[in-house]
Copies of this chain bind each other. A is one copy, B any other.
Amino acid sequence: MTPTLDEVKAFFDAELPFFDRFGFEVDSMESGIGVVRFVYDEAWTRPYRIINGGTLMALADVAVYVAVFSEVGIVPLAVTNELKMNFLRPAVGGDVIARAELLKVGRRVVYGSVEVFMDGAPDRLVAHATSSYVLPDSGSST
């Protein structure tokens, strides 16, 4: 049931055009973990090259989505129930990594935590998110 990284990338390419528009790339995926990168682009910044918070929330959301895929397969109808992000430091002038880790995979609800940091500085979080996803009824996944 576990998809390959290439299958996940192909899914995003085919189904989620906004993914590319944001400048997101799936970096890696392993059991219960999804890592997605924002490739720095000045168009998403405010003065002083600070990357806007909306972009970081979108990035964290898709990182959880990838982590969910790693556990239950590519289930397009898995939907975000809620996401909270706390902003800890400005994200400035470079690629940003969101690393999602699932803390619970239930039959109906999946929950994960997301560390967001500048590429190369994993111990200095720029943001932290938690999010729950709701899975479709069994049998309806693809």
Which residues of A pack against B, CB within 8 Å?
A: 15-18, 21-22, 42-47, 52-55, 57-59, 61-62, 76, 79-89, 103-104, 106, 108-109, 111, 113, 125, 128, 130, 132, 134
Contact = CB atoms under 8 A, between A and B. Distances in A.
Contacts of A44: 18, 21
Given A46-B16, A61-B57, A130 B130 contact: yes
10 contacts: A18-B44, A54-B55, A57-B57, A80-B87, A86-B132, A88-B103, A88-B104, A104-B125, A111-B128, A113-B128
Given A45-B17, A46-B18, A52-B18, A108 B111 contact: no
Contacts of A43: 17-18, 21
Closest 7 CB pairs of A and B: A54-B58, A84-B84, A57-B57, A88-B104, A82-B86, A18-B44, A18-B52
